[in-house]
Amino acid sequence: MRSSIHRRTFLQSVAAGLAGSLAASSPVTGAEQATAPLGSEHEQAVNRRRRIIVQFDAQGAYDLDFDTWLDYRFAYIDEPGTQIDSIFWDIGRLGQVLYPSKFLDPLPSPDLQKWRDQGIDMAGRLIEATKKRGLEAFWHHRFSEVDVNTSVGRGAAWKEGPAPLKLAHPDWVLKNDWWRHGLWNCAVPAVRECTVRCLREVAEMYDLDGLQIDFARHIPCLPPGRQWELRDHVTELMRMLRQTAQEVAGKRKRPLLVSAKVPRNLEGCRLDGFDIETWVKEDLVDMFTLGSRSMDVDVAAYRRITEDHNIKLHPCFDDHHATDGYRYPPIEVLRGVVSNWWQQGADGIMTFNWSNAPPAVCEKLGQPAGPILHQQAYQEIGDPKAMDWKDKTFVVERRGGYPWAQGFFGRNDTSPLPMKIPRGGDEAALQVRISDDLKQRTDRIKQVLLRVILFDAQDEEQVEATLNGTSLPLLTRDAEWKDPQIFSPRAQPASGGSGNYQVNPKQRLLRLDFSVDPRACMVGENAVGLRVQSSAPGAVQLEKLELRVRYGDP
């Protein structure tokens, strides 16, 4: 491996060369279309079956021997009955890389170096193993990953300084509120050029079916406060990426698809500077991955703007940086979330930060174990029919829990919960989305109930609830309810971590269950009203609202 001095000199020369080659480039106009017509073979590739796509962060566990490591990574993928059709290998970044680049340095790691010394190309072997299984393989590139420039991880990177490429060319870096070393600035031409050069290199090196660029990792990617003003710079990056993919496809004589990971709704795209309407108009993408850690994904709005184009929509469920209050949720919650996406017109489901293997396998190898939920979900959520007539819980999303962004993406800042409901005030209004046509299923429904979880409520607080204007009778009142993922009156912690939440024995929430007539429910949005009938001062806080559907035997 190069010495640190040689590495820095090398990166400085790369930066200077790229900056010089772009100095005379013309301003971004947003007017030109970069690519020729895509053709029927390309269309067929876009239309492949993708029930479940795994965005697979395969970093870490490098202390295992390679064959054991490879088997571990494919443990769930290899199980009979899995609905996984596509793997987006989440190992791409600008900086120190995990593949044998000709112009960027490798990520320093003693364990990785052992594999390199054995002639093992980790990235190449992952892609090769994917293709041998008959699965689709994409390269997933994080546009602005945080620095991981030491073998001891991000914490050391935070303390020790930025990655060498940032040191070599600090004018490529965008200062922001949360990552002291800065993030890549898409408004800098050299950043766009270097990003596309990375993606061209892997596309020419490996047997890939496509490339995904991930704007969730991280934002901002444009100067804060000017994102929409500077949106053409991101559009230019997408033009360059599409043109590169078409050039590679032409040389190898088969399609190379392009996907982009974008915020959960159109308003968020505008706030973060992503002019996706132009991307659609110019056919710059074949797929959108929608959101990352949000349950409330506006698939229907994306479908409206893409309906005249062959563009696939894949909402994403991150179960590490999960929606606040729902880390490792019950399978009923996951079914409710995913069924709502399918009902709105999703073409497939993407998972992110899910476990590689059953808990027993993880524990045997000394790796963090996820919930057994993931194993069951991989057998169900890729097919709406597999979830039909199965119990579901439809929830209203909570805000917060994600401090690693300056902008819209991933933060869920516009979600309605927690919500203050003034005592004796007007009815609080919310919406809950239901995918199942419950009106037509009354003969098979065992129970439908609306669950309300309140903080700072009195034991006998009188609460009235309505659904679509219909009053709901109270079934259950539990003034000793506890939820280990609700922390009021303390602030919610950041998402992530071990996921091992402990119940606070002193916690007292009020749980109210209301009976719901399934004939009052509608497919899509349903209006929920809550009123606290009390003369006491102040307000109660609505922490969670869930509509729970339980089916009986046929």
Q: What is the mean pLDDT of residues 329-333?
A: 97
384 & 427 share domain: no
More confident residue, 194 or 32: 194
pLDDT of residue 554: 76
- Please report where in the chains the tokens 């064959």 appear, as a residue: 67
% of the chain surpassing 70 pLDDT: 91
pLDDT of residue 151: 44
384 & 420 share domain: no
367 & 257 share domain: yes
Does residue 335 register a pLDDT over 90? yes
Task: Classify the phi-psi angles of 39: left when phi > 0, otherwise alpha if psi is within -120 to 50, otherwise beta.
Answer: left
- Phi/psi of residue 250, each to 5°? -65, -40
Q: Is residue 304 part of a domain?
A: yes
| Mean pLDDT of the residues in the chain | 91
Q: What is the mean pLDDT of residues 151-179?
A: 77
CATH number for the domain harbouring residue 295: 3.20.20.80
84 & 134 share domain: yes
Q: Is residue 214 part of a domain?
A: yes
CATH number for the domain harbouring residue 438: 2.60.120.260
187 & 295 share domain: yes
266 & 326 share domain: yes
pLDDT of residue 160: 66
Q: Round to whole Å and give the CA distance between 452 and 474.
A: 11
More confident residue, 11 or 499: 499
479 & 372 share domain: no
362 & 232 share domain: yes
Q: Over the stretch 8-35, which tens digit does the pLDDT of each residue have? A: 333 444 444 444 334 333 334 444 444 5
Does residue 387 register a pLDDT over 90? yes
474 & 531 share domain: yes
Does residue 153 register a pLDDT over 80? no
Q: Round to whole Å and give the CA distance between 87 and 125.
A: 13
Q: Over the stretch 455-476, which tens digit does the pLDDT of each residue have? A: 999 988 899 999 999 999 999 9
pLDDT of residue 17: 43
Q: Is residue 293 part of a domain?
A: yes
pLDDT of residue 162: 81
pLDDT of residue 553: 85
Rounded to two decimals, the pTM is: 0.93
Note down the domain range covering 95.
Answer: 54-389
pLDDT of residue 35: 52
pLDDT of residue 154: 52
Q: Is residue 192 part of a domain?
A: yes
Residues 6+ apart with CB under 8 A from 39: 255
Residue where a domain stops, chosen among 372, 389, 406: 389
Does residue 293 register a pLDDT over 50? yes
Does residue 47 register a pLDDT over 60? yes
The total of structural domains in the chain comes to 2
Locate 37 and state its tokens: 């017509």
248 & 116 share domain: yes
Does residue 109 register a pLDDT over 70? yes
378 & 483 share domain: no
Q: Over the stretch 448-457, which tens digit does the pLDDT of each residue have? A: 999 999 999 9
| Cβ–Cβ under 8 Å, residues 380 and 372 | no
360-381: string of b/e by CB count within 10 Å (b at 16+)? ebbeebebebbbebbbebbbbb
pLDDT of residue 8: 39
Q: Is residue 309 part of a domain?
A: yes
Find residue 241's DSSP bridge partners.
none
Residue where a domain stops, chosen among 339, 373, 389: 389
pLDDT of residue 60: 92
- Which of 345-359, 367-381, 419-433, 486-500 comes out lowest in average pLDDT? 486-500
Q: Contacts for 387-390 with beta carbons within 8 Å, 24 or more apart?
A: 387/335, 387/338, 387/339, 389/444, 389/551, 389/554, 390/335, 390/551
Q: Is residue 226 part of a domain?
A: yes
Q: Is residue 368 part of a domain?
A: yes
Q: How many CB atoms lie within 10 A of CB 450?
A: 24
More confident residue, 16 or 552: 552
Q: With CA atoms as reference, report the closest residue to 265 among 255, 276, 257.
A: 276
Q: What is the mean pLDDT of residues 165-192?
A: 94
Q: Round to whole Å and give the CA distance between 300 and 507.
A: 39
Q: Round to whole Å and give the CA distance between 514 and 299.
A: 29
430 & 511 share domain: yes
Residue where a domain stops, chosen among 338, 370, 389: 389
pLDDT of residue 542: 98
Does residue 182 register a pLDDT over 70? yes
- The radius of gyration of the chain's CA atoms, rounded to the nearest angstrom, is 25
pLDDT of residue 30: 41
Q: Round to whole Å and give the CA distance between 488 and 324.
A: 13
Q: Is residue 141 part of a domain?
A: yes
DSSP letter for 12, please.
H
Q: What is the mean pLDDT of residues 530-553?
A: 95
